[in-house]
Chains A and B, each alone.
Chain A
Amino acid sequence: MSADIQTARPSRGAYFRIAAVNSFKGVIKAFNSNKTSWVGLGVFAAVCLLAILAPVVAPYDPIDQNILFRLKPPSEAHWFGTDYYGRDTLSRILWGARISLTIGLLAIGSAMLIGTLIGLVAGYFGGRTDIIIMQVMDVLLAFPSLILGLIVVAMLGPSVMNLVIAISLTAIPPFARIARAPTIAVKNREFIEAGHALGYSHSRLMFGHILPNIAPEVLVMGSLWLATAIRVEASLAFIGLGVNPPTPTWGGMIREGFENILDSFWLALFPSLAILIVVFSLNLLGDGLRDAIDPRLKGEQ
């Protein structure tokens, strides 16, 4: 599921509006232009807070088994019910958020770094370098990412680190594409030409002058890809390639809940809603911000 909503609208040199997003005021303005971004940010921040505070706010130990309270429906003691081993579903969801967010943030963080670097180099140098690099990226993009992730995790074994590697591998090519387009647009502007005339080095121009101009676009795509990464991690866990049990993961909980779906619907329902809330909030956030920095939509409001 690599190509995503972000590929729906190929970025076409959004650079001249981006300059305005580089200040704190600009960021607030971008958020205000589409109020749903605030909603997305608020919900996502709340989820992050709950994940960080999981040891404090979770009512029970997430891996503590209680055979006497097996498969209990939601009640006052267990808001989201209990699972096959009598573990508290709410506590497992709260702890599971840590796994999802850690893997998602690490995977997208590294994909963003590597992919942006590749796109920056390809766009800046152009010519044959560009053609070769982007050809390789296109070949990688051609392969369905869930299948690629599946095989990499199956090869390396399911651990947090290996899941991060698998998911970031699938997200590098799109980030290279995202970074390349505005780089090409920015590199032909006067201030870069002036830099050349002053004898600035390539790396100084790339990192000091072009990168800040393309960063907003890359970061906005980052929030959309974080949503994808969380979805892919959950999907892999559902297939059985998630972090090993008893560590709670949302995908793994749905997998277990699915086995008892006929009599204990809450086991699959609540983790499903948790994934949906996080992914939806990130999509709301990224989608609204992208509209704000896309010049083609400027005249619409």
Chain B
Amino acid sequence: MTAFILKRLGFAAITLFAVLTIVFFIVRILPGDPAMAILGDQASEAALKALRVRLGLDVPLYQQYVEFLGGVLVGDWGVSMVSGRPVITEILKVLPATLELTVASLILGAVVGIPIGVWSAVRRNKLPDYVARIGSLLGLSFPAFVSAVLLLMFFSIQLRWFPVISSSQGGGLGEHLRNLALPAINLGLIMAAYITRVARSAMLEVLNQDYVRTAKAKGLAFAVIVWRHCLRNAMIPVVTVVGLYLGILIGNSVLTEIVFNRPGLGKLIVGALNQRDYTMLQGMMVIYTLIVVLVNLITDLTYGLIDPRIKYS
């Protein structure tokens, strides 16, 4: 167990290091001089030089690289070129909002997707199965911003159930949940479409196993077989795939945050792109990498909880 965790941690560290290196060079090969991008082309040579020194751009590339890696480790991610505040502070300020949205949508996706997937597998090639398959295929055909715009049109503008523009901080818990509801439903339904499909195909495989036949033969209630014996085995691929879909979830959360005007990493990165805030972009890429590596690690370790047969070797 300890050896397995160490091995996974080692792999996570290598991935992190590799992506950080890519991030460093991507930001460095950006066309244009960051100092000039900030001060404009009217700036004097002296001012440009001073800013380059302040941004640490005057030292050789390898030294910048070492400083960058060291900085990431100790939480010094540089200073935003636009606001002048530390990048990590700006990121940590909006991170909870994005995490809240993604976790809520993951829960919604699992609560909706797993039962539908199981039902679809049990009623294979019957009407419920066709409806679930076509419905889930339709669900994952939605670009997140399209579904967000449609939800907004229907529930906020037509029915007026939810606010059109989420008010930012402030308000009680009820107000907070009301603001979270529509964005979370948007992301959650797309996640549910993905989860339904994985749950269905995982369940189909499990239902064909010998032990299911044995359980049926000895007269165990079908519901007990499905929900207690099969579901647990079918959960392994579901967990893997949810880990794999993290990339999709992150991309979709960016789009959702823009449509619903929610504070979060998505709005931050689009703002940084528009303002050419290179240090902020670099920090955003670091945080996304950290999230991905961390979630993959958690996914790996979760297997053991679901399936005690898996030995960490």
CB contact under 8 A between A142 and B289, given known A8-B194, A150-B269, A262-B157 = yes
Q: How far is the CA of A258 from the CA of B281 in the complex (A)?
A: 26
Q: How far is the CB of B209 from chain A (nearest CB, A)?
A: 13
Q: How far is the CB of B313 from chain A (nearest CB, A)?
A: 19
Which of B50-58, B70-78, B181-189, B243-251 is the contact stretch? Answer: B243-251
Is there an interface contact between B124 and A3, defined as CB atoms closer than 8 Å?
Answer: no
Q: How far is the CB of A134 from chain B (nearest CB, A)?
A: 13
Contact with A along B3-35 (1 / 0, CB 8 A): 000000000000100110010001001110000
Q: Choose one: B26, B138, B146, B247; the contact of A254 (CB below 8 Å).
A: B146
Chain A interface main SS type: helix
Query: Which B residues between 248 and 266 are near A, CB-CB below 8 angstroms?
Result: 248, 250-252, 254-255, 258-259
Q: How far is the CB of A81 from chain B (nearest CB, A)?
A: 14
Q: How far is the CA of A150 from the CA of B288 in the complex (A)?
A: 13
Interface residues on A, range: 35 or more
B285 / chain A contacts, CB cutoff of 8 Å: 143, 147, 151
Is there an interface contact between B248 and A4, defined as CB atoms closer than 8 Å?
Answer: yes
Q: How far is the CA of A241 from the CA of B152 in the complex (A)?
A: 23
Q: How far is the CB of B22 from chain A (nearest CB, A)?
A: 8
Query: Which A residues between 1 and 59 are near B, CB-CB below 8 angstroms?
Result: 1-5, 7-9, 36
Is there an interface contact between A154 and B273, defined as CB atoms closer than 8 Å?
Answer: yes
CB contact under 8 A between A2 and B15, given known A142-B293, A276-B142 = no
Tell me, yes or no, whether A73 is within 8 Å of chain B by CB.
Answer: no
Is there an interface contact between A1 and B197, defined as CB atoms closer than 8 Å?
Answer: no
Is there an interface contact between A145 and B281, defined as CB atoms closer than 8 Å?
Answer: no
Interface, chain B (partner A; CB < 8 A): 15, 18-19, 22, 26, 29-31, 124-125, 134, 137-138, 140-146, 149-150, 152-153, 157, 164, 194, 197-198, 201, 204-205, 241, 244-248, 250-252, 254-255, 258-259, 269-270, 273-274, 281, 284-285, 288-289, 292-293, 296
Q: Choose one: A142, A258, A262; the contact of B296 (CB below 8 Å).
A: A142
Is there an interface contact between B269 and A142, defined as CB atoms closer than 8 Å?
Answer: no
Is there an interface contact between A235 and B145, defined as CB atoms closer than 8 Å?
Answer: yes
How many residue pairs between the two chains, A and B, have CB atoms under 8 Å in the bound complex?
147
Q: How far is the CB of A9 from chain B (nearest CB, A)?
A: 6
Q: How far is the CB of B191 from chain A (nearest CB, A)?
A: 12
Q: How far is the CA of A234 from the CA of B125 in the complex (A)?
A: 34
Task: List 19 contacting pairs A-B, 8 Å CB cutoff, sorted by A.
Answer: A2-B248, A8-B194, A8-B201, A8-B241, A143-B19, A144-B292, A145-B251, A147-B288, A155-B29, A155-B30, A234-B146, A238-B143, A239-B255, A241-B273, A261-B149, A269-B153, A275-B146, A276-B142, A279-B142
From A156, which residue of chain B is reached at the shortest CB distance?
B31
Q: How far is the CB of B184 from chain A (nearest CB, A)?
A: 18
Q: How far is the CB of A109 from chain B (nearest CB, A)?
A: 21
Tell me, yes or no, whether A69 is within 8 Å of chain B by CB.
Answer: no
Q: How far is the CB of B97 from chain A (nearest CB, A)?
A: 17
Q: How far is the CA of A138 from the CA of B29 in the complex (A)?
A: 23
Is there an interface contact between B141 and A276, defined as CB atoms closer than 8 Å?
Answer: yes
Is there an interface contact between A240 and B274, defined as CB atoms closer than 8 Å?
Answer: yes
Q: How far is the CA of A269 from the CA of B270 in the complex (A)?
A: 24
Q: How far is the CB of A166 from chain B (nearest CB, A)?
A: 12
Which of A90-98, A201-209, A280-288 is the contact stretch? Answer: A280-288
Q: How far is the CA of A151 from the CA of B26 in the complex (A)?
A: 9
From A170, which residue of chain B is reached at the shortest CB distance?
B247
Tell me, yes or no, whether A99 is within 8 Å of chain B by CB.
Answer: no
